[in-house]
Structure 1
Amino acid sequence: MEANQVAELIRAGLPEAEKVEVTGGEGKFEALVVSPQFAGMNKVRKHQTVYATVRDQIDSGEVHALSIRALTPEEAAGA
C-alpha cells in the first residue's frame, strides 16, 4: 500500500478534513490530519477516529504502523 492510498482512505472516512498528508511506505506511515471534526476530542479520541478509517488495512497487515498528528484547524493555525 502506498502513502497516497492511505491518504485517500482517511479522506473518504473523514470528508470534513481540511488537510490530509501521508508520508512513508512499506507498511509504515505518518499522517497529518486537520479537521473541524476533532473539536472537543482529546488526543486519544482523535487518533481513534483516524485509525478507524484504515482499520481494515491494519487488520490485514497492509498498514503495519501509522503515526498520527490529528489537529483542529485552530490547533493547526497555532491558536
Structure 2
Amino acid sequence: MDCTLIEEILTAALGLEEVHVSSDGSHYKVIAVGECFDGMSRVKQQQAIYGPLSEQIASGELHALTIKTFTPTQWKREKLFNMPG
C-alpha cells in the first residue's frame, strides 16, 4: 500500500496537522500529529488511527502497523527523536 495514500486517508479523517508514514516492506510506521489527540488515552489514540484504515486492514492490504501519536506541542519536543535523519 502506498504511504501517501495512508497519509491522505488519515489527514482527511482526523484533520491532522502532520502525518508521516514510512514502510519497510509490509510493515508500516505512522507518526500522527494533531490536536485531536489532546486528552485521549493511548488506546483511544490508537483506535483513532485504526478506524479510518479499518477497510485496508480488513482486506489484508495493510498490516503490521506501528503508531506514534502526538499533539502539536508534544511533537515540537519529540520531533528530533522520531524523524529519520
TM-score w.r.t. length of structure 2 = 0.83
**Mapping of residues 11-22 of structure 1, within 5 Å:** 11-15=11-15, 17-22=16-21
**Alignment partners' CA distance in 2, 1:27 and 1:56:** 16
**Alignment partners' CA distance in 1, 2:54 and 2:19:** 17
Structure 1 runs of 4+ off > 3 angstroms? none
**Mapping of residues 1-79 of structure 1, within 5 Å:** 1-15=1-15, 17-24=16-23, 26-78=25-77
CA RMSD of aligned residues (A): 1.6
When you count helix as a share of all residues, which structure comes out higher? Answer: 2
Amino acid of the residue matched to residue 13 of structure 1? Answer: A
Q: Unaligned regions of 5+ residues in structure 1, if any?
A: none
Does the CA-based 8 Å contact 1:2-1:26 persist in structure 2? no
Identity among equivalent positions (%) equals 32
TM-score w.r.t. length of structure 1 = 0.89
Residue 46 of structure 1, CA deviation: 0.5
Which range is displaced more, 35-44 or 25-34? 25-34
Structure 1 residues 25 and 7: alpha-carbon distance in aligned structure 2, compared to 1, 3 A threshold: farther
Size of the aligned set, in residue pairs, is 78
